[in-house]
Structures are given as C-alpha cells and as structure tokens.
Chains A and B, each alone.
Chain A
Amino acid sequence: MNRRVYLDHNASTPVHPEVLEAMLPYFAERYGNPSSIHGFGRAAREGMDVARERVSSFLKVGKDEIVFTSGGTESDNMAIKGVAAARGRGHIVTSAVEHHAVLRTCTALESQGFTVTVLPVDGYGMVDPDDVRRAIRPDTILVTIMHANSEVGTIQPVGDIGRVTRERGIAFHVDGVQTFGKLPVDLDALNIDLFSFSSHKIYGPKGAAGLYIRKGTKMVSVQHGGEHERRRRAGTENVPGVVGLGKAVEVRARDMAEEEPRVRALRDRLWEGLQARVPEVRLNGHPTERLPGTCNVCFRHIESESIVLGLDLKGIGVSAGSACTAGNVEPSHVLVAMGVPLDWAMGTVRCSLGRTTTAEDIDYVLDSVEPLAGKLRSLSPLKG
C-alpha cells in the first residue's frame, strides 16, 4: 500500500477531531429547531450562539453582523446580489482572478442591467489598488476583491483597496474563504464591509459558512422565507455544521500562529526541492505575499492531468491547474489573467499543504514527482 499524502487543502480539509466531537451531539441529542422556543430548540440555539460568539470574536466584529450560510458560494452570492438588489442599478468593480462564485454572479447581474468592471492583475496575480481607484465611477455600488487566491495563493492588498472604498463611501466585499482561519484578519482595520468565509477549508465540516455584514451596509435579503438569521437568510440553520464552524474557528485561533511558519517552511521545502530536481518548472503566485500552504507550479510540456493521475497512483492528492472537462482544456482563468504562457499553463499543478502535512510527506512527493515528470517528458513530442 502506498503512503497517502493529501496536498489539496485549498479544496477541502479533513474535519479536526475536536470539531467532530463538538458536532456529534447536535445530530441526535440536540436536534431541535433553533427557532423553536421549547427546551429542544433552545439546546440547538445555544450551540448556534456559541458558534456565533466564536466567529465574531475571531473576526473582532459584532455577533449580529454574522450570517451563517451553506457555503462560500452562497456567501458570495448573498453579498453581491444583496448589495445589488438594495441599489437596483449601478456599477460593480471586481478582478479577473476571483472565484467563479464572484465572477459568474457579476456576469448574472450584468444581464440584469448592472455594469461590471473586471480589473486585470499583474504577473503574480495581484490587483493594483490604483486600478480600483481609477475604476470607481459615480454610480459604483460595490467593489468585490478576494483576500487570497485559491489557485495561486496570492494575497491581495485589501487594506489599500479598503482605504479607497472607504474614502469613496462604496461597499467593499472580500471573499475571504482562503484566508479565514489561516491568517489574522482585522475587518475594521481593513475597512471591509462584507466578508465571506467558510468552514471546510479550516478543518470544519462542509455545508457551513458565513458572511460578515458590517452594520449599516445597505443590502437586502436574496433568500426569502422565515425569520432566520435576523431575516437576512431564510431557512433552518445547519446546526451541527454551524457548531462545527464555531469550533473550527476556536481551534484555528489557538493553533494558527504556531502552525503558519511550519506550513510555510514545508511549502518552501517543496518548491526548493522541485526546482532542484525537476527541470523547467515555474512557481505561480507572489513570492512572498502568498498563502503559507499554497505552492502552484507549472511543469512545462506536461499536461496537468497526467501529473495529477501519476501522483494519484502514488497515493498523493494534488489538483490540476488546468481542468480538462468534456474534452476541452480550459487553462485556469487565473493563470490566463496572470499572463502565464499556454505551454506552461497547461501543465499546472496546485499543491496545498495543511496542519497534518509533514516533511516526510514533502520528501515522498518530491521522490514521486521527479521520475514521473521525467517519464512524462520522455513520452512527449513537445521537447524544448
């Protein structure tokens, strides 16, 4: 049996044992509807309250500024459509490297009469805050820029962008799914008005996430029904999931600072090893302003999928940077926006490390990838 090494933490993470333990009672013991006033309901409500308290203290915001949702995608939709619906018309500024949950939401709004400016990025995938300033028009209602990119890990200058939006009185949404629980975030200091976050990227369960909505932000609910979440998101809450999210945040608050340099060092060990052992590789993303666990690499003249498959056969889970679906390869929109040449972009692999990644894991990956890349290149007609 092969060793198993999971290097896809930006996609999802294993639930932390402490998180699982915290969640378990909320399936069969504290199963009430948190909206019910009886004891069963109150027990579930208590779990929600604790989770809300943990999230709000982690983000240093008010408890009533947190809305729980089903996922990062829902949070992004809620933020962008909620602001758009409150204003009825106007202009939105975003960037070319956003998650599809943001980009496609903006496209959908365009078809409803809103206008959208999609800002370019530099070769590292970074947005220039001056571009944001220049893009703002009198009718701009929202700027939505992600905190860190899920593919290449580049951290955007959200503080500088937040100064611009605050000065101009424009709502600022940040998709923080990749940074929440990985990096310290001070939403006030960064002038962020709306912040999407998720649980399953930080060792919590899937299906639980949230949106921070700064008090006073003009937005309306996009999902109608009951009075849940202070009428901002109708639907019975995923209580076990939210409890898990709360516990995950508590664990991250405790472990984050200690873990970050360890993961960063392993990430650098991986990249240094790849550079030393595999010819024609390049690193995507910012050299320093990058998520501590993200190492996105291009292998020239090898197709991503064949590397992912070859590593999978060695028990290693990484993700392909260019996805081949239905016989069509779409180089990632992020790499395209960064200007990565196609013959490199086609061979992109993202390795994302996490709390359980060890130095032995990294060495095993290096020992596996070196002969694999050599073999795939020896098969390839595209040499030099």
Chain B
Amino acid sequence: MRYSQILIEHFRNPRNAGMMRDPDGVGESEYAECMDLARVFLRVRGGRIEEARFQTYGCGPTIAASSAATELIRGRALEDLLDLTETTVETAVGGLPADRAHAAQVVTAAIRAAARDAAARAGRPAPAPGE
C-alpha cells in the first residue's frame, strides 16, 4: 500500500465529517489542478477550537488529511491556525507520497481560511437579528 496506515484509517473512518450549523468560521480551498475541494467549519470558545468539521471532495489522501487535520486542531488556539503548516497536516496522516502532497496543501489552506474568517468575525460586532 502506498499510503500510511494512519491515512488509510482516516479514510476508512473519517472523523468530523459533515457540515456545522452556525459555525464561528468557515474556510474553503480548491486545488485547481486536480479539482480537490475542502471546506472547514470551526467552532471557537475562549479563543480555542472547540469543534472542527469538514466537507471534502477529492482523492483518498485529501479526505484522510481533512479528517486528521480537523482532529489535530481541536483544542488549539485559533491564532495558531493562521499559520498552520502543510508539514503539520502531512505528519498528521503519517506522511504523503510526493504526488499527493496537494492533499496537505488543500486542507491546510482551508483551515487557515476558516481561522482567518473566525478571527475576523470575532473582531467585529455580531450581526443584528434578521440580518
């Protein structure tokens, strides 16, 4: 098998899959060359990630990386996710073959975008009712 056992396990049993109602931050990233698309939802409490969920279209590694990364970031400080590295995500799935490096790229970019969104929302007043 060309993928790590960790990757296969996450692909078989993805954690945190599905959308989230009323998230505190949402981010998306598309890897145009292979059309992979990852969307990450964050719930933030006290500046830390209370819950992260994902929806991903892509190859097995991208799905597994979404699962592993959303598990990894739980409990972390929101500001730390703004510069989350691809290496961190890649390590979380037990490494990636060179031709699947995009799996970590697309998931990392989606998490960073979600973190930016959450940080921006936290810095501005809540929308008025009915808005």
A, B co-complexed: yes
B63 within 8 A of A: yes
Inter-chain CA distance A376–B66, complex, in Å, is: 13
Inter-chain CA distance A225–B102, complex, in Å, is: 47
Q: Mark A155-179, 1 if CB is under 8 A from B, else 0.
A: 0000000000000000000000000
User: Given that A301-B57, A380-B55 are known contacts, is A329 also in contact with B14, CB under 8 Å in the complex?
Assistant: no
Which of B31-39, B72-80, B85-93, B117-125 touches A?
B31-39
A303 within 8 A of B: yes
Inter-chain CA distance A121–B90, complex, in Å, is: 42
Q: How far is the CB of B51 from chain A (nearest CB, A)?
A: 17
Question: Is there contact, CB below 8 Å, between B57 and A378?
Answer: no
Most chain A CB inside 10 Å of its own CB: which residue of B28, B36, B60, B99: B60
Inter-chain CA distance A328–B98, complex, in Å, is: 12
Q: How far is the CB of B54 from chain A (nearest CB, A)?
A: 8
Q: Mark B93-116, 1 if CB is under 8 A from A, else 0.
A: 000001111100000000000000
A346 within 8 A of B: yes
User: Given that A310-B60, A379-B56 are known contacts, is A329 also in contact with B33, CB under 8 Å in the complex?
Assistant: yes
**Chain A residues positioned under 8 Å from B99 (CB to CB):** 324-327
Inter-chain CA distance A381–B39, complex, in Å, is: 7
Question: Is there contact, CB below 8 Å, between B58 and A327?
Answer: no
Name the CB-closest residue of B to A320: B59
Question: Is there contact, CB below 8 Å, between A378 and B17?
Answer: yes
**Chain B residues positioned under 8 Å from A86 (CB to CB):** none
A57 within 8 A of B: no
**Chain A residues positioned under 8 Å from B28 (CB to CB):** 381
Name the CB-closest residue of B to A381: B55
Q: How far is the CB of A344 from chain B (nearest CB, A)?
A: 12
A356 within 8 A of B: no
* Residues 280 to 317 of chain A near chain B (Cβ within 8 Å): 301-303, 305-306, 309-310, 313
Q: Given A324, A342, A378, A380, which contacts B59 in the complex, CB threshold below 8 Å?
A: A324
* Residues 363 to 384 of chain A near chain B (Cβ within 8 Å): 376, 378-382
**Chain A residues positioned under 8 Å from B63 (CB to CB):** 306, 376, 379
Inter-chain CA distance A379–B17, complex, in Å, is: 6
User: Given that A326-B99, A329-B34 are known contacts, is A382 also in contact with B60, CB under 8 Å in the complex?
Assistant: no
B8 within 8 A of A: yes
Name the CB-closest residue of A to B11: A309
User: Given that A325-B99, A380-B57 are known contacts, is A303 also in contact with B36, CB under 8 Å in the complex?
Assistant: yes
Q: Given B12, B34, B66, B98, which contacts A324 in the complex, CB threshold below 8 Å?
A: B34
Q: How far is the CB of B108 from chain A (nearest CB, A)?
A: 14
Question: Is there contact, CB below 8 Å, between A309 and B17?
Answer: no
Question: Is there contact, CB below 8 Å, between B59 and A328?
Answer: no
User: Given that A301-B57, A378-B17, A378-B18 are known contacts, is A310 also in contact with B11, CB under 8 Å in the complex?
Assistant: yes
Inter-chain CA distance A313–B8, complex, in Å, is: 9
Question: Is there contact, CB below 8 Å, between B58 and A306?
Answer: yes
Inter-chain CA distance A303–B18, complex, in Å, is: 17
Inter-chain CA distance A305–B39, complex, in Å, is: 19
Inter-chain CA distance A355–B16, complex, in Å, is: 43
Q: How far is the CB of B124 from chain A (nearest CB, A)?
A: 26
User: Given that A313-B8, A328-B33 are known contacts, is A306 also in contact with B55, CB under 8 Å in the complex?
Assistant: no
Name the CB-closest residue of B to A302: B57
Question: Is there contact, CB below 8 Å, between A313 and B35?
Answer: no
Inter-chain CA distance A187–B49, complex, in Å, is: 69
Q: How far is the CB of B96 from chain A (nearest CB, A)?
A: 10
Q: How far is the CB of A371 from chain B (nearest CB, A)?
A: 12
Question: Is there contact, CB below 8 Å, between B57 and A327?
Answer: no
Question: Is there contact, CB below 8 Å, between A346 and B35?
Answer: yes
Q: Given A326, A346, A380, which contacts B56 in the complex, CB threshold below 8 Å?
A: A380
User: Given that A303-B36, A313-B12, A327-B33 are known contacts, is A379 also in contact with B60, CB under 8 Å in the complex?
Assistant: no
**Chain A residues positioned under 8 Å from B34 (CB to CB):** 324, 327-329
15 contacts between A and B (CB under 8 A): A301-B57, A302-B57, A305-B60, A324-B99, A327-B34, A327-B100, A346-B35, A376-B63, A378-B18, A379-B14, A379-B17, A379-B18, A379-B57, A379-B66, A381-B28
